[in-house]
Every structure is written in structure tokens, then in C-alpha cells.
């Protein structure tokens, strides 16, 4: 039964991929640490690094368009953008080291960086 064999392999493949994703997600979940700063990169170049624990609102302007970044209560999110897909807005808030918000149309990456060892943490309180 050739069909049965390929069916079984299909299911093994799907299960394997989901398992790999699950393990990776768990790994990322348990190794996550609260972030300390927010790095803003446009076209691969860092344009600013902001402390995550200072509430602020910043308009990121580039030739390609504008994104409004809000940092509040230790989290960062894009509140507004004039890109066509608005994916950056819908990605919601990020707060853990390594998390990022990407706006592909604007070539913009906002990443949370270094957690406990950041000097910004102690200064703000």
C-alpha cells in the first residue's frame, strides 16, 4: 500500500514540524528575560536606543514613511503607521529581550535588548 505509506509519512512530517515549533516556543518562553532598552533600526542601521523604563512617544520618520513608537510601563509598541499592511501596529506590545516588531514596508526593526544588567533599570526609580 504505497498510499498508506505516504500518508503515514505526511503525518509524521506534520507532527515533527509542530513538535519542533512547540519545543522552540517553550525554549524561547522559559529563557526570556525582561528587556532593558529598545533599539530602533532602519535599513539595518541603528538610529536610536531608548530606555524601556522611561515612558515616551516617538515618531520615527523615514523616506518610506512614518511609525509612531510608544514606550510605556516597560513595554513598547507601534501605535500608528502609514505603511500599507499595518502589520507593525497589529504585532502589539513587546517587553522581553530579543522580541522585535518589524515593519517590512518601512524597513524598520524595533528590538528589545539586554535585560537585568542594563543601567537604565536602576536609574528610573
Q: Which residues contact 78 (CB under 8 A, 6 or more apart)?
A: 67, 68, 69, 70, 88, 89, 91, 101, 103, 110
Please give the residues from 7 up to 36 whose contact with other proteins meets the rule CB under 8 A: 7, 9-10, 13-14, 17-18, 20-22, 24-25, 28
List C-alpha distances in Å: 80 to 4, 48, 75, 100.
Answer: 51, 18, 16, 16
Position among 38, 61, 95, 105 found at the interface with other proteins (CB under 8 A)? 105
Question: Using CB distances below 5 to 8 A depending on partner kind, what does residue 83 bind out of other proteins, Zn ion, none?
Answer: Zn ion
Question: Using CB distances below 5 to 8 A depending on partner kind, what does residue 20 bind out of Zn ion, other proteins, none?
Answer: other proteins
DSSP 25-53: HHHHHHT--B--EEEEEETTEEEEEEETT
3-state SS class at 4: helix
Give the binding site for Zn ion (CB under 5 A).
81, 83, 88, 103
Give the binding site for other proteins (CB under 8 A).
3, 5-7, 9-10, 13-14, 17-18, 20-22, 24-25, 28, 41, 43-45, 85-87, 90-92, 98-100, 102, 104-105, 107, 109, 111
Amino acid at each position: 500500500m504505497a498510499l498508506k505509506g505516504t500518508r503515514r509519512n505526511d503525518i509524521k512530517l506534520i507532527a515533527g514540524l509542530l513538535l519542533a515549533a512547540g519545543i522552540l516556543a517553550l525554549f524561547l518562553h522559559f529563557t526570556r528575560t525582561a528587556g532593558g532598552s529598545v533599539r530602533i533600526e532602519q535599513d539595518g542601521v541603528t538610529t536610536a536606543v531608548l530606555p524601556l523604563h522611561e515612558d515616551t512617544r516617538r515618531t520615527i520618520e523615514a523616506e518610506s514613511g512614518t511609525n509612531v513608537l510608544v514606550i510605556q510601563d516597560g513595554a513598547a509598541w507601534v501605535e500608528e503607521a502609514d505603511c500599507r499592511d499595518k502589520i507593525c501596529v497589529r504585532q502589539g506590545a513587546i517587553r522581553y529581550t530579543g522580541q522585535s516588531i518589524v515593519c517590512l514596508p518601512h524597513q524598520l526593526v524595533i528590538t528589545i535588548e539586554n535585560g537585568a544588567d542594563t543601567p537604565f533599570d536602576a536609574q528610573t526609580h
